[in-house]
Amino acid sequence: MTTAVTVLSAGRVSAQETSPPPAQATVDDAHTQVVVTGRKKAVKRKIDKTVYSTADNPKAENGTAQDVLQSTPTVSVSAEGNIAVKGNPNVTVFINGKPSAVMSGETRAVALQTLSGSDIASVEVITNPSAAYAANGGSIINIVLKKNRKAGAHGSVRTSATDQGLWNVNLSGDYTKNKLSLHGSLGVRRDGNLKYRQSDVNWRDPLTGKAGENQQSSKVFVRRWVQNASVGLDYDLSETDSLSASGTYNFRRSRPYFDEFHQDYEGGALTDAYHRISKGPNQQSDSSLTLGYNHQDDDTIVKAAIQHSGTVNLVDKSFRNLFVYPQTPPGYERILNKAGHNLDQATFDYARPVTGIGQVSMGIEYRRDANRIGNYFASVDPLTDAETVDFDATHRYQVIDIQKSAYVTAQVTWASRWEALIGARLEAVTTRLEGEARVAIRVASYQSLNPSLHLKYSLDGDKSLSLSYRQSLQRPDPRDLSPYTTYWDAQNLFVGNPNLKPQPVKSLELTYDASREDLSRSLGVFYRRSTDTVVDVRTFTNDNILLNSKQNAGKGLSTGLTGSVDWRLPKGLHISTDASIYYLELDTIDLTVPVHQSGLSYYANLAMDYSSGANQFAFDAHITGPSLTPQGTESATNTINATWKRRLTPRLTFTFSASDVLDGSKQSYTTDTSTFTQRGYNHFVARRVYVGLVYKIG
């Protein structure tokens, strides 16, 4: 296969065989003629990001987006779907260069666990985003979806199954004729997860001298039914202009069987023991609609887009309490949590070469981000089913963020060896917190000017040195702004803080790269620092319930070394590995006393795949070191996965995959404060074996 591609770089625009360019324009390469021969390069390093192709990733064939991200270098993904980039857990996930409602908050983990990996063309990892991106104080992972523009009709059917009656079927297809291209997919998925949790809290009241212990353990199997659909079209108005439209819809419902056992002690004596049993149901839906216009000629790139995305999440935590000691009649509680999230945005981007300078890109963006959250708590009479509402824990509120931003970047080269991408982003944000009847509780506004710098110096041969710097603000999670009391479980309540402020984040990275056709190596050092850090604050109520909250009271620092190697050897063997060791500091407050924590952590990833004839074998292993939490720690975890893919006919492929072979996802945690100590673990059971088939049409 030989493909000739003419590339006019403009910021976030880049030519790809199977995927659309990301949403906004920034500089990538000079205006050159590029000839690509043979298989697509697995790793492509650009001045502001690293692009990892999924073309030869067997986990993408019949896995999920979470499987694909887990096998991406520098990215760590826990069994529960928590993401970190080079140890940094503050990560924003984009789809085709744009943020979306489903990829934020609590819905993101489930979305990644149900999005088909076969839809992904590449993953872009942006550790220090340029000013063209709204970084929100962290790294960005951009998932670029496939968009086949080959003439004619094509399609595929993918299916897989495992134990517990879990399976999935996905249909996808595309049709291209002349100027019009259509693509779409339908999927049905029956999946589930087994979770174990245990917590042991020893509390003490420094004023009264009282002390006690709360023990809690739970087991839940979440059986989930998922339906998804997507459709899109592209129409070429001319050789330089095109229109695009796409839409998605996903619906998920589940009936988790949840058994939570409690034992409470005071003064060493057992005061009560009981089971809390819940059966849901829960449901979640999300949708998106995107319209875009693209213009690209020899001198100019123009991009305009509008997008709406939204999610609705309903969690029924209604419980039946079965008392073991003292023996009393069962009790019933009705607990509902409903959350809605709408994200509306409009973007305009413009890029043009400037004689004697290089290329200049600029853009404007308007974004309205609305989160609506409601909580309901009531005790239920077992004889009459009458509900007595607890108004202290029943409430509704919404948080509306209006963000207006503009950016400019300039990419320049000089003396044949130097390349720089310099930018600045101006943001004006207004946050409105509304309570019942949409009464404003707090309105806050701020403006910020955040610079970015990416500098590259080419050494002899295939070697280079790169320096990147970004300054931005990380906004508080809307759920943390609630002034009301929210029920988490029988041991935990949460009261938010409406006065939380954004936390400033600065990030610096220096990297040495050496790349040739089949071997890519890098070694780097990074430094990240945050101030006014939002930290957890925990105290005990008079009823010995753990009261959780947030406040701007800390500072965070991480600095360390990273390294990676990607090597494609002869005879079908491919090896990729990356690792980091870094130092952490976290300053928080325990009541009124400052607390300083520090320690070392690490991560390491290893992936190998081997192709021989009709067979492809893949193996990947991951280890994530211990981490710091406010006044506590979390233990290390590990994951080992294996995949076998065999082509039975030119159209039919068999897949076999085993995930978390050693069941290493169990994570212990500790918390030590002046009023309580807590020990526990979370175990999200991810060990599973899948078998599947893929049939391609056209």
Beta strands in 541-687 (DSSP E): 546-568, 573-590, 593-612, 615-624, 627-629, 632-634, 637-647, 652-659, 667-672, 676-685
CA distance 585 to 528: 10
The C-alpha atoms of residue 138 and residue 472 are separated, in whole angstroms, by 8
Let me know if residue 535 belongs to a domain.
yes
Q: Where are the beta strands (DSSP E) in 80-236?
A: 83-85, 91-95, 120-126, 139-145, 152-162, 166-177, 180-204, 211-236
Angle value at C-alpha 343, between 339 and 347, nearest 5 degrees: 170
Rounded to a whole number of angstroms, the CA Rg of the chain reads 26
Can you tell me the mean pLDDT for 454-469?
94
Among 12-21, 237-246, 409-418, 455-464, name the most confident range.
237-246
Question: Mean pLDDT throughout 154-165?
Answer: 93
- Residue 187 pLDDT: 94
Report if residue 208 sits inside a domain.
no
The CA distances from residue 366 to 22, 100, 343, 478, 585, in Å, are: 17, 14, 11, 19, 36
At position 281, the amino acid (one-letter code) is P
Q: Which residue has the higher pLDDT, 448 or 535?
A: 448
What's residue 41's pLDDT? 67
Q: Is the pLDDT of residue 133 over 90?
A: yes
pLDDT digits over 294-309, tens only? 999 988 999 999 999 9
Between 245 and 588, the more confident residue is 245
Q: Which two tokens stand for residue 287?
A: 């949708």
Is residue 108 over pLDDT 50?
yes
**Tokens encoding 583:** 């130092």
Summarize pLDDT for 321-354 with one digit per residue, the tens: 999 999 999 999 999 999 999 999 999 999 999 8
Query: CA 277 to CA 261: how far, in whole Å?
Result: 9
* Residues 252/313, Cβ–Cβ less than 8 Å: no
As a whole number of angstroms, the distance between CA 647 and CA 330 comes to: 57
Query: Does pLDDT of 21 surpass 60?
Result: no
* Residues 194, 258: Cα–Cα separation, whole Å: 10
Residue 148 pLDDT level (bands cut at 50, 70, 90): confident
* DSSP secondary structure code for residue 438 in this structure: G
Region 361-390: mean pLDDT is 94
Residue 210 covered by a domain: no
Residue 40's pLDDT is 56
What are the pLDDT digits (tens) for 468-522?
Answer: 999 999 999 888 998 888 887 777 889 989 999 999 999 999 999 998 888 999 9
Contact 455, 510 (CB under 8 A): no
CB atoms closer than 10 angstroms to residue 113: 21
**Number of residues that make up the chain:** 698
What are the tens digits of pLDDT across the range 584-621? 999 988 878 889 999 999 999 999 999 999 999 999 99
The percent of residues above 90 in pLDDT, for the chain, comes to 70
CA atoms of 237 and 179, how far apart (whole Å): 8
- In degrees and rounded to multiples of 5, residue 299 shows phi and psi of -120, -20
Task: Report yes or no on 214 lying in a domain.
Answer: no
Q: Are 632 and 671 in contact (CB under 8 A)?
A: yes
Q: Could you tell me if 160 and 655 are in contact, meaning their C-beta atoms sit under 8 angstroms apart? A: yes
CATH number for position 482: 2.40.170.20
Q: Provide the pLDDT for residue 146.
A: 86
Q: Does residue 7 have a pLDDT over 50?
A: no
Average pLDDT over residues 238-260: 94
The answer, as to whether pTM is greater than 0.85, is yes
- Is the separation of the CB atoms in 206 and 676 below 8 Å? no
- With bands split at pLDDT 50, 70 and 90, how would you rate the model's confidence at 25? very low
Q: Is residue 651 a part of any domain in this protein?
A: yes
Between 249 and 539, where is the model more confident?
249
Q: What is the pLDDT of residue 272?
A: 94
The answer, yes or no, to whether residue 39 has pLDDT greater than 60, is: no
Q: Lowest mean pLDDT: which of 138-152, 185-199, 655-669?
A: 138-152
209 located within any domain = no
Q: According to the model, what pLDDT value does residue 365 have? A: 98
Q: Taken in order 240, 232, 9, 305, is the CA torsion positive or negative?
A: positive
Query: Mean pLDDT in the chain?
Result: 89
Q: Within a domain: residue 581?
A: yes
Which residues have C-beta within 8 Å of that of residue 202, sequence separation ≥ 6? 211, 212, 213, 676, 677, 678
For 634, the domain range is 2-203+219-697
| pLDDT of 16 higher than 50 | no
Asked if the model's pLDDT at residue 17 lies above 70, the reply is: no
Could you give phi then psi for residue 343, rounded to 5 degrees?
-125, 115
What is the mean predicted confidence (pLDDT) over 388-412?
95
* pLDDT for position 602: 97
Looking at residue 437, what DSSP letter applies? G
In the chain, how long is the greatest CA-to-CA distance?
Answer: 84
Residue 211 forms part of a structural domain: no
Q: How far apart are CA 300 and CA 303, in angstroms?
A: 10
Pick the more confident residue, 440 or 423: 423
pLDDT, position 107: 84
In the chain, how many domains are there? Answer: 1
pLDDT at residue 487 in the model: 81
Encode pLDDT of 311-322 as tens digits: 999 999 889 999
Residues 162-179 have pLDDT tens digits of 998 899 999 999 999 999
C-beta neighbour count of 79 within 10 angstroms: 26
User: In 355-439, at which residue ranges do the beta strands (DSSP E only) sit?
Assistant: 358-380, 387-389, 395-414, 418-434
**Spatial CA neighbour of 547 closest among 584, 501, 493:** 493
